[in-house]
Structure 1
Amino acid sequence: METEYKGRLTYAKGASIEFVIAPNQDVDFGDILVVEGNNNDRFYIRAHDFKVKSRWSGLNGVGYLMSKLDENGQVVNQEELDFYMGGNHTVKIGMAEQLCYVDDKGQLLNPKTCPDFFCQVRALNAQDSSLLSEIKGDLEIGFLKSGRGVLTMPVGIYGAKSITEHIGIFGTTGSGKSNVVKVLASSVIDSGNYGLLIFDVHNEYFKDLSSHPMSRERLCVYHTDDKQYGKTIEVNFSEVGPEDITACATFTEPQLDAIYKLSSMWKDDWMRYALQYDAKDIIDELAGCTGQKFNSRTIGKIKSICWNLEQELHVKQEEATVISQIITELEQGKVVLVELKNISPVGEQALSTLLSKKLLNNYAGKTEEERSQIKPVLIVLEEAHRFLGKKENSSSNVFSRLVSEARKFNLGMCVVDQQPRLLADKVLSQLNTLFILGLASKADRSKIEAMCRKDILQQRNEIKNLDCGEMIVATNYMRFAAPVKVHKYENFLQQRYAGYVPVPPII
């Protein structure tokens, strides 16, 4: 089999590698290459820096060449300079790190040793099947990227390993975060082995996901206003707890105290009674039961928030709501899309908190045997710093509980954000899989480097120069952080389904 020769190894110490790049060969930042060992073993390396060496590289040599220039730094005698610069004594050195190692039996291992002097360095090819099995996964995302080239090696994540251990998708506006979510959702639809709950803040997923050939069986759409497609969200008064209210707005200490006392006093009917009775009657009732006198403005703020939520979430007394139906669909391995664009931030945060809390309580309340009969579920939360920021992160926050506790219940969080530095450190440390797209801010890149489970310091140049649709995938079970060219959603479906036409069907 023809291999693309790239050069020869000239130095190795631990996981650090240096090699001479062959003449007329290109090696770029981030190129993944193979060092062919002397014992039929192979070493996978990634180039992260370069330097040029010559017999004139020393200080004396440079000084001698400079003497051949005039006072303006221009060549005095080109023919004489060409004579000194000619020959085969100038070399380009690639500096790389060892990623992993394949022994003579084909077993993939963490770096165990280093290659011998002057071993051949080549490009990746079909022989490298051990590496392919490591990064392929059952939820495909894109193709392996090596330098400026893209290889036809599919890269994805293993849902059983990644979903319950939480995922972070980080990138600036225009870097391709939405396309990553669409491709991930498409792979989940194809698989049928996982549930996916997407809170769609900008209503940007329905058009594409509904065009998936299997959307009729595995995509369920909900919204908060009457539309021709999907189902309208309806909530029962008894389903709304005090934490759903406190998560969606800023309250003072007396207002928080009043909310929890109302809940304690009226149980499941607290929100209905808070809307039904006048502020004066509520104040008198609280004073009679608790001996505490509340201000009318305190009760007025609570009644105002409750009224807004009643209108936006269609809160009613009827017992039949869609929440139990949503949970059942997720347990069956379907993608549930909740559109949130047409409601206020207050309603959006309350609904996200309410659904996530019900899902967590449902999974936590099941026995191990019952959980083995249902699918693991991933919750996709956009603009996550609003829920999991440094100030918002607390023990009473359901999303904080999901990040710290949900793994044992077969639930996972997918945190999507433009500015990872705004997230609480405790949250970032729990994300075992990171999709790192283009990040313009040095502070964001530094935060990711500090919190990533894999050492990505040598990929700084690569991360800094990521184009739209390119990312680094770092996950616990992969032996290295893999550069990926993410599939464009339409092209991905065309590859999988012959005759696919990107026109959304009527649901």
Structure 2
Amino acid sequence: MIGKVISAESDRITARILLDDIENINMGDLLIIESRFKYLARVSSIFSKNIGEPNLPDKIAVLTDRIDDMESLFGTQFYYAAECGILGVLDSGIKPAKTIPKFLSKIRKAESKDLDFLLKEGKNYIKIGRLRNMDLPIKIDIESFITKHAGVFGKTGSGKSNTVKVIIKEMIKHNIPCLVFDIHGEYGYKRGLGGRENVIVVGLPGGECDVSLTVPLQMIKPGDLRVMTTLTEAQEDAVALIHKRYGGKWLEYISQTDTENIVSEFENKIQMTTVLALQRKIGRIVDYNFVGRDFNSLNYIRDKIRQDKVIIIDFGDYEHDDWAIKLITSVISRFLLNKYKKYKKEEHKTKETLLVLEEAHKLLNVDTAKKTVFSDIVREGRKFNLGLCIVDQMPHKIFEEVLAQLNTVIIMLLTNIKDREHLVLSSENDLSDFKKEMKRLDIGEAIITGISVPFPIPAKIDLFSLSRSKKENFDQFEFNELDI
């Protein structure tokens, strides 16, 4: 026993902690309350109290250089307490608590045997770590994690990349197809999964890869330009007119046609200054050496995903080029979403597929989110077995409507109060009890909450192993013809 219940309400209790145990209790610890029912609780706050006069601590302050033992002078007027959220009632699993424990119910630390229902067997779970301070594996429901969308949040150095690598490694083990937008080269050959069986790194110049990425001009839509840059109303109208007439060749037309000829052809409905501005912006796109006309590596990516491969898009030298990041992530994700919609309409069976988006705030901020295909994916992707996992170190920059669609959230160390507040206010899950704990997590520690776990779990994420197994030969590739 480490303490007893001294007050309770519908979803939380306050416990008096025994003096000898106070430094053995940590925020996030799981506790068992023994009453008529067996309650599972989680420590959300630890504090000291006194039952004496209000200014007693001030009186003690002047005596601190003369006393070392509080009890010898003031007896038991001072005590330690913890506020704990009630997670549920344990009964062959965990159920919602509909009542409260009695006063003075005994409290002890949870043990592995109390939570043995977490030892789920079967193919529908991935293991990503262990309960903190307990030798019990954490298993996450695959279908809920993927199709109901997820987020991994933590400051730089908190262990986000390691967590994502562990998740992807488990997806490989279960033959779950994934597409990872690897902005900073965390998951490919340098420090990650490149070279493993069933993993293909598709890269831009400057990154080690198995296949070079080529995006056909015809796959780039006017919406992609809106995501990449701000268009005036006149530019919007001009793009709409040109796209309506030239379809998939709209970029070629604007970039290769003389300015005066464009103005003349559209009978002055488009002003020369508008054309010149569009040509400057579009010139930047067509000048990218990964934008081409001959091959369509998007079809290659699609075919490998259909074979349950993990595709990692390594951005190489373009890791700091926001235009390139927005262009590639938008084009590829829209292509896959449209294909999955088509598969469902034609009644082709598809596996749950996970898209992993790093640096999510670049595309899912309040100004851009509604323009991107990712807002469509979080809203309707689950209908087509396409899920999104967003990874970011600054969740306060992510549009709240996107955060509200994430039904599994893995929170690592967040020291910025804006990040913590934004997550608490925006998440579909009630994270209010974890706000203090978020800033005290150690490297590799996490809070996992949402529908893919039975209750909010204090976790220690497994350490990713760099061991690699033999993979297929990439000396020859068969590219499909352009399929738009």
Largest Rg, 1 or 2: 1
Q: CA RMSD in A?
A: 3.3
Letter aligned with residue 361 of structure 2: H
Cross-structure match for 1:197: 179
Does structure 1 residue 113 correspond to structure 2 residue 107?
A: no
Out of 278, 296, 301, the position equivalent to 1:326 is 301
Distance 1:422 1:352 in 2: 18
CA contact (8 A) 1:210 1:504 kept: no
Does structure 1 residue 469 correspond to structure 2 residue 459?
A: no
Q: C-alpha deviations, 1:355-374, integer Å up to 9, x for none?
A: 01101111112226735x22
Distance 1:272 1:420 in 2: 38
Residues 247-396 of structure 1: pairs in structure 2 closer than 5 A: 247-287=227-267, 292-295=269-272, 297-312=273-288, 314-318=290-294, 320-343=295-318, 344-367=321-344, 370=347, 373-394=349-370, 396=371
Distance 1:393 1:489 in 2: 31
Cross-structure match for 2:81: 93
Cross-structure match for 2:460: 485
CA gap 1:368/1:266 in 2 versus in 1, 3 angstroms: closer
CA gap 1:240/1:101 in 2 versus in 1, 3 angstroms: same
CA gap 1:7/1:505 in 2 versus in 1, 3 angstroms: farther
CA gap 1:130/1:369 in 2 versus in 1, 3 angstroms: farther
Q: State the aligned residue count.
A: 468
Letter aligned with residue 331 of structure 1: R
Cross-structure match for 1:497: none
Cross-structure match for 1:73: 63
Q: C-alpha deviations, 1:64-123, integer Å up to 9, x for none?
A: x95xx8x953677x799875456x7864333322111113xx242011222334433222
Distance 2:368 2:241 in 1: 22
Cross-structure match for 1:59: 53
CA gap 1:335/1:504 in 2 versus in 1, 3 angstroms: closer
Name the SS for the 2:113 alignment partner.
Answer: coil
Distance 1:506 1:488 in 2: 28
Cross-structure match for 1:185: 168
Distance 1:210 1:477 in 2: 25
Name the SS for the 1:48 alignment partner.
Answer: strand
CA gap 1:443/1:502 in 2 versus in 1, 3 angstroms: farther
Does structure 1 residue 142 correspond to structure 2 residue 159?
A: no
Distance 2:423 2:266 in 1: 48
Cross-structure match for 1:496: none
Cross-structure match for 2:396: 421
Between 253-262 and 17-26, the greater mean CA deviation after superposition: 17-26
Distance 2:64 2:404 in 1: 55
Out of 100, 111, 114, the position equivalent to 1:125 is 111
CA gap 1:454/1:267 in 2 versus in 1, 3 angstroms: closer
Name the SS for the 1:113 alignment partner.
Answer: coil
Per-residue deviation at 1:177?
Answer: 1.8
Cross-structure match for 1:48: 44
Letter aligned with residue 410 of structure 2: F
Distance 1:74 1:122 in 2: 32
Residues 379-458 of structure 1: pairs in structure 2 closer than 5 A: 379-394=355-370, 396-458=371-433
Distance 1:99 1:135 in 2: 23
Letter aligned with residue 263 of structure 2: I
Q: C-alpha deviations, 1:234-282, integer Å up to 9, x for none?
A: 2333222222233222322222222222111112222223333222222
Distance 2:69 2:365 in 1: 65
Distance 1:416 1:446 in 2: 18
Name the SS for the 2:303 alignment partner.
Answer: helix
Cross-structure match for 1:209: 192
Distance 1:346 1:241 in 2: 14
CA contact (8 A) 2:187 2:194 kept: no
Letter aligned with residue 102 of structure 2: D
Q: C-alpha deviations, 1:305-356, integer Å up to 9, x for none?
A: 43433342544443x4111121122233221111113233322211111101
CA contact (8 A) 2:375 2:402 kept: yes
Letter aligned with residue 73 of structure 1: L
CA gap 1:27/1:131 in 2 versus in 1, 3 angstroms: farther
CA gap 1:202/1:464 in 2 versus in 1, 3 angstroms: same
Distance 2:420 2:70 in 1: 44
CA contact (8 A) 1:196 1:380 kept: yes
Distance 1:410 1:476 in 2: 17
Between 121-130 and 133-142, the greater mean CA deviation after superposition: 133-142
CA contact (8 A) 2:30 2:109 kept: yes
Per-residue deviation at 1:444?
Answer: 1.6
Name the SS for the 2:389 alignment partner.
Answer: strand
Between 256-265 and 449-458, the greater mean CA deviation after superposition: 449-458
Distance 1:404 1:473 in 2: 22
Letter aligned with residue 142 of structure 1: G
Q: Which runs of 5+ in 2 are unaligned?
A: 475-484
Cross-structure match for 1:172: 155
TM-score between the two structures when normalised by the length of structure 2: 0.86
Residues 18-57 of structure 1: pairs in structure 2 closer than 5 A: 18-25=14-21, 26-38=24-36, 41-52=37-48, 57=51
CA contact (8 A) 2:404 2:427 kept: yes
CA gap 1:79/1:453 in 2 versus in 1, 3 angstroms: closer
Per-residue deviation at 1:62?
Answer: 4.4
Identical amino acids, percent of aligned pairs: 27
Per-residue deviation at 1:47?
Answer: 1.8
Letter aligned with residue 141 of structure 1: I
CA contact (8 A) 2:94 2:454 kept: no
Name the SS for the 1:59 alignment partner.
Answer: coil
